[in-house]
Chain A
Amino acid sequence: MNFFLTIILDGLIQASWLFIVALGLTLVFGVLKILNIAHGSFYALGAYIAATVVTMVAARSLPPSVGFVAMLISVALIASAVGLLLERGLLKMFYGRDEVVLLLVTYAVFLILEDVTKLIWGVNPIYATQPYELFGNLEFAGLYYVGYDLVLIPISAVIGFAIWFGLNRTVIGKIVLAVIHNEEMSVSMGVRVNRVYAVAFAFGVLLAALAGALTAPKISMQPGLSSDVIILSFAIVVIGGLGSVEGAAVGAILVGLARAASVHLMPQAELFMIYLIMAAVLMFRPEGLFKRETARRI
């Protein structure tokens, strides 16, 4: 029994940060119709910045809680700036071109960011473990867990709820939904679509970077991080349905559980399992488990 509980809890911990990443990816796809390959790079960027900030704070012998807050704030600021800059400075030039062309543009951004992180932070693994002890260890049904891991679950739930609420229950959210459903009509109704694009993209970058910052204390940052993460978040959004918030949640939980289960039962089958699920979903329900109201053309 404990064994299954371990898998489920591990899966949820995985799902929590994956969900935040996937949320950004699905939001950017929903609004801008761009499948952003560079999304994983923004995750890595967030993780690297967080590590730098945490190390700087620790060097001044301030408590790790300060480091935790400082890393979240600085990552949020830098990520939004990078997102706005990229959208206004680069992506804007390619609007109206084919989806696949935009995919290639983000692939180019991925390649560039991959080396930029290497140039800034080097190729050796770096760590930022100080905030990891922040919440102590917790005992849960006879199992010991690092408090930080468990705290990630409510954090991502709150973020997910905030986005759902923001999209469905506020004026700004309704405008964004209008752009998602019909861009031309929104323009004719006086929506400044350009502004929505810029904000949505920056927000997507912000979410990826935040997830990177939140997981930074758990992992070692090294090259290759971004390509692993993008592959996982692709699977999640495709399983859940591109552009769907609920879908991202379900996809993240499925992928998190699949990862945890294969780690415990069949190590190394992890990627295989996840992509098998994704291929199966694409084969039988190409629009994802959560079909959106606007029937997309496959």
Chain B
Amino acid sequence: MSDVRLQIKNVSKTFGITKAVQDVSFDVMKGEVHALIGENGSGKSTLTNMLTGIYTIGGGTFILDGKEVRPKNQVEANNEGISIIVQELGTLSGLTVAENIFLGHEDMFVKAGVKNTNAMNRKATELLEQYGFGRIKAAAMIDDYNFEDRKLIEIVKATYFNPKVVVIDETTTALSQEGREVLYKHMNRIRSEGNTVIFISHDLPEVLAKSDSITVLRDGVYIDTVKSAEVTEDDLKKLMVGREVSGAYYRADYDEEVSDEVVLSVKGVTVPGQIKDVSFELHKGEILGFGGLSESGMHEVGKAIFGASFDRQGEVRLADGTEINDIPTAIKSSIAYTSKNRDTESVVMNQGIGDNICLPSLDSLLNGFKLLTKKKMREFSNKYAEEMSVKMVNVDQFVSDLSGGNKQKVVLARWIGRDADILVLDSPTRGIDIKVKQDIYQLMDRMRKSGKSIIMISEELMELIGMCDRIIIMKDGEISGELSRSRDMDENSLIAKMV
């Protein structure tokens, strides 16, 4: 019997003039974790979305255990033995946990048209306990659970029926370390049962540690499949980008003095249920990092500074005495903010790139008659889109068509266009490939050198260590420690203050 589980043969997909996947062919074996990597826009998600019925197959074939599969939706894919855990939230509000787990498969509990809710809840409870998530109640509304718990529920939903292939699409970035460990445990279980995991991630150390083999895509084209044990991180970077990625990934300096000039001071900021008595100062030309577990409150700090928190107490004040209590004041005072939730809180998905870039700068784009002209807006957005090297057809292209990394570039282009002096960047490299990450790090470094101040909130400890002058660690909504930039700093020194 063949060890090949899935054959991907000459698969292609186009969106308008964009060739998202071009004639891709490779095999995935039984009982392996097969990583799929590539820059943003390389076609990874498009390929797996075709396999799992989210997109129709443009061309070519998927052959699972010798039989061609061509699912029209996720349920058909499930019936073929294929499932997916998507990057963003994949559960539906307004339904219970059990209804979400069995959505599309209710027929198991329907007799003569009547749904046996009790039986469905019992089965879901049994599964949740089996997965070690017994505290999640099957009959409770899914809305009662936080993002991470809902991801755990998705793991149950995608794997309870013992599928032959499980696609995990960039899920780990949404999880805390504890959540990741749970996911890894189930990946190992699936592999040990002889089934296959297709694992998409931008975190190369994670890819090397957790996968058996790795397929690299670039610009929708298959590049290579390698054994994880036989390659290094640098080898993967080279395959992904198509050239050597220079060593200057993070900042190289360690001895530069940060200015004494305070540009922003935060005193006793409390957001009920989120953060408590947070105080710190941000200096001119400084990159100040905020680290911690996902629910530590660090993400709320960014919102609080930008005036986007509700019921905030305490004081956020600029050097000139301006108090920041709301978003319009923050923007007028040259503060920029990029949210962790890029798709829902940062970009306007069904608007053009140009409109997105111009959005906070419309006042400065008005002509003498206080009217906006297409020409001026186009010139403005073109300039900053090009400065950020956004991969696009033109600025009229909808943001929804862009990859995650390019969306982030649009968000940054927006604030560069506004020439913000203080940037609050929450998870700026979340779900972004190595090349765009490097671009963003270099941009941050240039901004720092030109006197801009940056607050970088991140769950990626290495990028905090690599980029920040100071790192504040949050735990249970409070500051639990602070570390200054040094060559000796490592992940363990941060983790010690996080947990």
- A pairs with B: no
